Amino acid sequence: MVLAAIGRHPGVVKLLLDAGADSNRGDGAMPPLIAATLGGNPECVRLLLLHGADPNGHYKDGSSVLDSLSSPNPVIVAMLKHAGAKE
């Protein structure tokens, strides 16, 4: 899921979610939603949020989803804040 999200592959993300993948289970360090924000694909972010991804999830080091946006995409920031992400 993380690779599909960071690689900007919303079709693969949707396929995995529809097959029952956990929208919050990452690779041990990074949840899929952070991967999607790093990838910069609003559709991946939208799909994960619709499937229950935690907008306040954290990296293993404690940084938040919003912290992961080095070059904030205003659409993604708005989606995350609408979903309840805290700074």
**DSSP symbols for the chain:** -HHHHHTT-HHHHHHHHHTT--TT--SSS--HHHHHHHHT-HHHHHHHHHTT--TT-B-TTS-BTGGG-SS--HHHHHHHHHTT---
Q: Is the dihedral of CA 7, 32, 50, 72 positive or negative?
A: negative
pLDDT (0 to 100) of residue 70: 66
> Which of 40, 49, 47 shows the shortest CA–CA distance to 75?
40
pLDDT at 81: 92
64 pairs with which residues across the strands? 58
Mean pLDDT taken over the chain: 89
| Average pLDDT score over residue span 66-79 | 83
Handedness of CA 60, 64, 65, 69 (dihedral sign): negative
Check residue 17 and give its pLDDT.
96
Tens of pLDDT, residues 3-49? 999 898 999 999 999 999 999 987 777 899 999 998 899 999 999 99
Q: Report pTM.
A: 0.90
